[in-house]
Amino acid sequence: MEYLTTRKFSSSLLIFVALLLLFSHLSLATSRDHHDLGRRGILRRSTKWRSKQEIKRCNMYNGSWVFDDSYPLYESLDCPFIRKEFNCIKYGRPDRLYLKYRWQPNDCDLPRFDGIDFLKRLEGKKIMFVGDSVSLNQWQSLLCLLHASVPHSNITQQNDGSVSSAIFQDYEVYVSLFNSHYLIDIEEEDIGRVLKLDSLKNGDLWKEMDVLIFNTWLWWYRSGPKQPWDYVQDGDSILKDMDRMEAFRKGLTTWANWVNSTVDSRKTRVIFQGISPSHYNGTEWNEPNVTNCGNETQPISGSSYLGGLPRATYVVKDVLNQIAKPVHLLDITTLSQLRKDGHPSSYNAFRGMDCTHWCIAGVQDTWNELLYAALFYLIQERN
Ligand SMILES: *[C@@H]1O[C@H](CO)[C@@H](O)[C@H](O)[C@H]1NC(C)=O
Ligand SMILES: *[C@@H]1O[C@H](CO)[C@@H](O)[C@H](O)[C@H]1NC(C)=O
Ligand SMILES: *[C@@H]1O[C@H](CO)[C@@H](O)[C@H](O)[C@H]1NC(C)=O
Ligand SMILES: *[C@@H]1O[C@H](CO)[C@@H](O)[C@H](O)[C@H]1NC(C)=O
Ligand SMILES: *[C@@H]1O[C@H](CO)[C@@H](O)[C@H](O)[C@H]1NC(C)=O
Ligand SMILES: *[C@@H]1O[C@H](CO)[C@@H](O)[C@H](O)[C@H]1NC(C)=O
């Protein structure tokens, strides 16, 4: 309820606001260009993203973080959508440097996120994140980015079982979240809760969407009281447990089969969010005695991460490669590994140390800038 915004604007006022935003956007872009002049040159920037062919050739996930004083793209305290888990500034995070980095691909420039353009392109359409709390986290970042672009527009909220939506009424755009830890099913049976590696029943709702962004990983290694199932079913066998990476591969393949057989690629764009890294092991960034992200205030420079890629990323790539339909991998793993400074740590309502989720504003705004580029600036690619 807290994120209901119900001020109505006459259409002329709306146009005025849109123009105002456009001008402030342009002037921000200009000041950022100047900031970058020393490094790259204004010509290079302004010629980027011209032809779609050129964009397709660039791997926008290969790059580094650069200081950019025009960031963050919004003030988190002005965003009415942020849960207590992710609202770092509100819960006392004192440093602000982590908000001031822009992702700079090595071989091209990203288009700056333009919320009005995003909403116009998706007018009348539905976009849905499907996954665990990392999806919730990214969904809220996107809502903040869009809200900052149209702060006075009519945004209503709808909660319907496992689906939460924010509806940008003036554009008839649904931005939804479908909560699913594993994408595949857990069913209550006589013996208890069974994780069914071969079963995916929620797809009927998903396939009606125009854009789907899937994610699952966080829960596959959960055990003990945090594990939300008692048995795992693999084909005809019901097991107490099995190799978790193998289970992940099988579950993801069930999802891949569903995409292969059911998604209508003319209607629905499918994106899979790469593995989101956490930062509890300082060995991965050459600080062997560090066991969390609590003292981290700066990103790692450069394009590579000492700890290397998590094993699960190889499973994701393998499984996505078997899908005949176009699926884009939102390959945020390495760029997020470089952001040991991006997590809430203890700056959340619960004071627990969280080096898994991400502060909003923050790193996931970049995920959404990449999502924007992937949706509207990349040619549909075959996988
Ligand atoms: C917002 O949109 C909803 C749905 O179209 C409408 O019922 C409501 O009256 C609108 N609110 C305002 C303040 O315009
Ligand atoms: C990333 O970009 C750098 C510089 O352009 C290049 O040397 C490197 O091979 C690229 N890495 C990948 C994985 O594409
Ligand atoms: C997807 O379909 C193609 C052919 O249509 C098939 O070769 C491939 O094995 C399927 N992949 C999955 C994961 O079902
Ligand atoms: C931390 O990472 C290093 C290098 O990847 C690994 O050898 C070590 O086992 C990890 N430590 C823990 C506690 O997971
Ligand atoms: C790490 O901790 C060990 C044992 O407490 C200590 O001997 C070592 O100097 C520490 N290393 C660094 C790099 O701080
Ligand atoms: C942060 O660093 C300080 C000083 O080195 C240390 O006392 C503290 O335990 C560290 N905090 C965390 C969460 O690692």
pTM: 0.86
Q: How confident is the model at residue 290 (pLDDT cuts 50, 70, 90)?
A: very high
Q: For a pocket test of ligand 1, which of 4, 156, 170, 173 has the largest count of ligand atoms closer than 8 A to its C-beta?
A: 156
Cα(2)–Cα(66) distance, integer angstroms: 35
User: pLDDT per residue over 90-119, tens digit each?
Assistant: 999 999 999 999 999 998 999 989 999 999
Ligand 1 pocket, residues with Cβ under 6 angstroms: 6, 8, 154, 156, 169
Distance 54 CA to ligand 2 centre (A): 16
Hey, whose CA ends up nearest to atom 10 of ligand 6?
Answer: 295
Ligand 2 pocket, residues with Cβ under 6 angstroms: 59, 62, 106-107, 303
Distance 270 CA to ligand 3 centre (A): 16
Q: Is the pLDDT of residue 126 over 80?
A: yes
- 66 token code pair: 């650069």
322 lines ligand 3 (CB under 6 A): yes
The one-letter code for the residue type at 150 is V
Distance 295 CA to ligand 6 centre (A): 6
User: pLDDT per residue over 295-352, tens digit each?
Assistant: 999 999 999 999 999 999 999 999 999 999 999 999 999 999 999 999 999 999 998 9
321 lines ligand 3 (CB under 6 A): no
User: pLDDT per residue over 143-179, tens digit each?
Assistant: 999 999 999 999 999 999 889 999 999 999 999 999 9
**Which residues are paired to 271 by β-bridges?**
213, 328
Cα(365)–Cα(370) distance, integer angstroms: 9
Distance 289 CA to ligand 5 centre (A): 6
Cα(326)–Cα(381) distance, integer angstroms: 6
